[in-house]
Amino acid sequence: MFSLEQKTAIITGGGSGIGRAIATLFAKQGADVMIWDIDQQAVGKTLDEIKKSGGEAEFQECDVSRQDVVKKNMNEFLRKKKELNILVNNAGIAHVGNAENTSEADFDRLFQINIKGMYNCLHEAIPHMKQKGGAVVNMASAAATVGISDRFAYSMTKAAVVGMTLSVAKDYVSSNIRCNCISPGRVHTPFVDGFIAKNYPGKEKEMFEKLSKTQPIGRMGRPEEIASLALYLCSDEAAFVTGCDYPIDGGYIRLNS
């Protein structure tokens, strides 16, 4: 079950965290993986992990916020792979701030990457997926549906991800393109470690435990757990699933409401 043999996949933001876990798992399950990221050094570590697990993957440097770059990369990918079966829109950035202290520059930066970047990838992928169908997974967040302090711009972008997911699922269901999104709660990634170190120096352990307990299940998620859900949604076992937002949050959304 959950084999991705004979399938090609593009995974954006595969250099670290959730994206790295998804790329590694998909390659392990037989997918021919292409990673789009701007951090070549980070992707190198992902490729090493994939090789150790017996999978195969390649890398194209890609700034998803630039449609010309995404278009060029997609054309190069299709010349080599001939078709695209899976797109995982994982690339994104976080931000801490409310409506007052979020600068225009930061707001625009989040829009360009988290919203326009996803649009760019959908815009270039869908015309090719329409030929034989395919699966799209977009990375949203629990912040799309639950009010979280100091996540004004970030929450805005992730709510847009849910909206884009539903729209694509509706518009292309007759083309056999399935589109779903995943809404993680707090996941232990390098961003979390960096955030704690920057804002709570000397109190890293204490703050890590405090943030972990904001999930009713009592801990943060692991990138590998998010990857497992993405694998299901992109596999043939999920052939009857489209237009859904999947919380994977240790009970954060439902049990805190």
Q: What is the CATH number of the domain that holds 69?
A: 3.40.50.720
Q: Is residue 200 part of a domain?
A: no
Q: Is residue 31 part of a domain?
A: yes
Q: Is residue 93 part of a domain?
A: yes
The reported pLDDT for the residue numbered 16 is 94
Q: Is residue 214 part of a domain?
A: no
The residue among 214, 110, 212, 221 whose CA lies nearest residue 161 is 110
The reported pLDDT for the residue numbered 43 is 97
Whole-structure pTM value: 0.95
Among residues 119, 154, 232, 246, the one annotated as catalytic is: 154
First to last CA, the chain: 35
pLDDT < 70: residue spans in the chain: 257
Q: Is residue 191 part of a domain?
A: no
Q: Is residue 76 part of a domain?
A: yes
Q: Is residue 192 part of a domain?
A: no
Task: Give dist(CA 202, CA 196) in Å, integer.
Answer: 9
The reported pLDDT for the residue numbered 256 is 76
**Order of strands, edge to edge, in the sheet holding 177-184?**
57-61, 32-37, 8-12, 86-89, 134-139, 177-184, 245-248
Q: Is residue 98 part of a domain?
A: yes
Whole domain around residue 79: which residue ranges?
Answer: 8-184+223-255
In the chain, the number of structural domains is: 1
Q: Is 154 a catalytic residue?
A: yes
Residue 246 structure tokens: 């999947």
